[in-house]
Structure 1
Amino acid sequence: MNLEEVYKDCKAYLEGHFLLSSGKHSQFYLQSAKVLENPALAEKLCKELAKIISSHLVEFDSICSPALGGILAGYELARSCNKRFIFTERVNGDMTLRRGFEVKQGEKFIICEDIITTGGSALESAKIIENLGGIVVGFAALANRGFCAVKNLNTQAKTNAKLPDNIPLFTLGNFDFEIYDSEQCPLCKQGSKAIKPGSRGN
């Protein structure tokens, strides 16, 4: 599966000047919502991701995603694996588990995102699960932005990757985009202003 072609065909491979959720800037952005708006394609992608996880013999009970971006990918992956699905969300900036969701002692989870950049949001969700007595046995995403090590692609982590080394990450593909701190962003230096994805129709 050529994941780059999938994103381009869905007009989800954007070029411009973007402010990422991490606070960093990039010339490129992957708008996974445009990919996942097609239920048949979302099912196909997540079935493929489920096969990858299964081939690595990872045993788990449930899937948890950080809202908002990870919800569709996580739900479809859970459906493909016939597992329970829950999600965490931010309240006043802090990641929390709400809506009556519960975590059983010793329950094994995969944390699923649409896109993994440094892994910060996924790690916040993982800490919530672990604090409630769950066990995180893996991370998953449709794509990795080139910073975290991907088990099934044999890629190495970069220095700003936040995911733990001892828990595998599985993805369908890897996009190695440059990202910048705002102070060093060459696009900013050219006078361009970063926009947050989701604004201005992006």
Structure 2
Amino acid sequence: MEAINVEEYYKNAHALLKGHFLLSSGNHSDTYLQSAKVLENPKNAEILAQALANQIKESKIQVDCICAPALGGILAGYELARALGVRFIFTERVEGKMNLRRGFEVAKNEKVLICEDIITTGGSALESAQCIQEKGGIIVAYAGLANRGFCKRVNGNTTKKPECKLPDDIPLFALEDFIFNMYEPNDCPLCKSGSHAIKPGSRGN
């Protein structure tokens, strides 16, 4: 299987941003991956999702359905479902809790893969997984176009960090690891220099 240079896709889409960013986790970083800029080109979305689907197919894991946490995971999740030939649903946050809405249902013991655009600590993906499990579904894998390096992906070179919230017994598939600086807000050198963190992601912008 031919390797894909995911970093080049982000750079070409001007989606590998440098600055001072507030992440969904509440931490700060000097680098941000804006997947929406990459996925606004349907051809990019198709190519990246197909590469991710190839990894999953090689693993021989059976997947009946892809579920993505809204809003960030929807485009990546939909394209991955299309590449795997399975149905697609998404969870969304209602009063702070992930829920299935819009008539989406999960069959008992249905095998579900949770897909994000970027896996950082895996918090949102885990919330979606818990929602699916409450409906009777079985989580067989997690996936993302890119992995921030806190969680260990299949065939990756990083080790799992304490910040990772994903379980050890369920595989994580991603195309590439991106290791960037990340700081707690009360110990952020960018803040100490007088810079103000901005939120370019799907929540709070």
Give the TM-score category using the shorter length.
Answer: over 0.9
1:188 counterpart = 2:191: yes
Cα distance, 1:152 vs structure 2: 2.6
Q: Please give the alpha-carbon distance, in whole angstroms, between the structure 1 residues aligned to 2:7 and 2:44.
A: 14
Partner of 1:14: 17
- Report 1:1-202 matches (<5 A): 1-198=4-201
Q: Please give the alpha-carbon distance, in whole angstroms, between the structure 2 residues aligned to 1:17 and 1:194.
A: 5
Q: Report the number of matched residues.
A: 200
- Indicate how the Cα distance of structure 1 residues 170 and 198 shifts in structure 2: closer, same or farther if over 3 A, else same: closer
TM-score normalized with structure 1 length: 0.97
Cα distance, 1:16 vs structure 2: 0.5
Query: Cα deviation per residue 1:68-107 (whole Å; 9 max; x = unaligned)?
Result: 0000000000000110100000112211111110010000
SS of corresponding position for 1:11? coil
Q: Is the 8 A contact 2:24 2:201 kept in 1?
A: no
Q: Is the 8 A contact 1:116 1:143 kept in 2?
A: yes
SS of corresponding position for 1:152? coil
Query: Cα deviation per residue 1:30-85 (whole Å; 9 max; x = unaligned)?
Result: 00000000001100110010000111111110000000000000000000011010
SS of corresponding position for 2:155? coil
Q: Is the 8 A contact 2:120 2:149 kept in 1?
A: yes
The residue type paired with residue 148 of structure 1 is C
The residue type paired with residue 197 of structure 1 is P
Displaced runs of 4 or more, over 6 A: none
Q: Is the 8 A contact 1:16 1:27 kept in 2?
A: yes
Q: Is the 8 A contact 1:52 1:152 kept in 2?
A: no
Taking only the aligned residue pairs, the percentage that are identical comes to: 64
